[in-house]
Structure 1
Amino acid sequence: MSTRNKEILLRFLDAANSGDLDVITSLEHPDAVIRTPLPVSGLADVFTRLRTAFPDLRVAVEDVIAEGDKVVCRNRVTGTHLGEYMGRPATGRTVSYEEIFVVRFADGLIAETWGVVDVLTQLRQLGFLPAESGTPAPD
């Protein structure tokens, strides 16, 4: 089961990178509980919002660990802020931040997610928050 769930998650992330909402939707359990920093109604909503703000969004998988009905992945996310995000207009700035997701599967579908996203780094890179002391501000 672990290997199969890992393959499903990687297929999901490929669809997220290509913007294929049909595949994303097909891999989400009808009763899925999605926990992310953004208030969303499902996985397709997450990636619609992200790809509206960052049309070149790219999720690069750095580590994947699978056991039982859960898969954990550590990712590097990059993109260029070209659309509204979190109520803010496009800045044209690029972001590169890390995230970790724990994904639980049921019936071969994504049934539950817990996401830890480095939103602080993202907001600093977009210029929405001041840079860390000793860190150059973004252009």
Structure 2
Amino acid sequence: MTTREEARALVLRMQECFNTRKFDEAADLFTADFVNHPLGAIGIEAGMDAWRMIVAQFPDMRVVAEDVLVDGDRVAIRSSVEGIASADSGARPTLIEIFRVHHGRLAEAWGITEGPDPRH
């Protein structure tokens, strides 16, 4: 069983892999049958492809954890998004994700982005 501290550290490690562009290291953090609900995909390849596409468009993008909540096998994280030029408001987008942890790995994810869309 994964402890609260281990679950929290797992999600923060995933963010670190994104922020440092060490995508290959992130592969060990996910189960083989990882379910990515926002992308409608199983496995980590769709997520890794999405990471590559977004950093190609926004090379300075990073996510910064603001809140991390752990309840049982679920980890909810609210993150601010930096390195993206926002619309006129200057407000940063916010990423809200929920992960299910299974045997010390990320097994399932849900997520939404709030705030200005940097692509428009």
Length-normalised TM-score, structure 1:
0.71
Counterpart for residue 89 of structure 1? none
Q: Which residue, out of 12, 15, 20, partners 1:18?
A: 20
| Structure 2 Cα separation of the partners of residues 16 and 35 of structure 1 | 19
**Structure 1 pair 109/42, CA: closer, same or farther in 2 (3 Å)?**
farther
Counterpart for residue 86 of structure 1? none
| Superposition RMSD in Å | 1.8
1:72-116 Cα distance to aligned partner (Å, 9 max, x none):
000101234xxxxxxxxxxxxx13200110000112111100001
Q: Which SS does the other structure have where 1:74 is aligned?
A: strand
Q: Which SS does the other structure have where 1:5 is aligned?
A: helix
Give every structure 1 segment of 4 or more consecutive aligned residues whose post-TM-superposition deviation is greater than 6 Å.
none
Counterpart for residue 49 of structure 1? 53
Question: How many residues are paired up?
Answer: 110
**Identical pairs, percent:** 27
Counterpart for residue 5 of structure 1? 7
The one of the two structures with greater contact order (alpha-carbon pairs below 8 A, sep at least 6) is 2
Matches within 5 A, 1:48-127: 48-80=52-84, 94-95=85-86, 96-118=92-114, 121-122=116-117, 125-126=118-119
C-alpha deviation, 1:39, in angstroms: 6.2
Asked if the contact 1:32/1:112 (under 8 Å) is kept, the reply is yes
| Structure 1 Cα separation of the partners of residues 97 and 76 of structure 2 | 6
Task: State the structure with more CA Rg.
Answer: 1
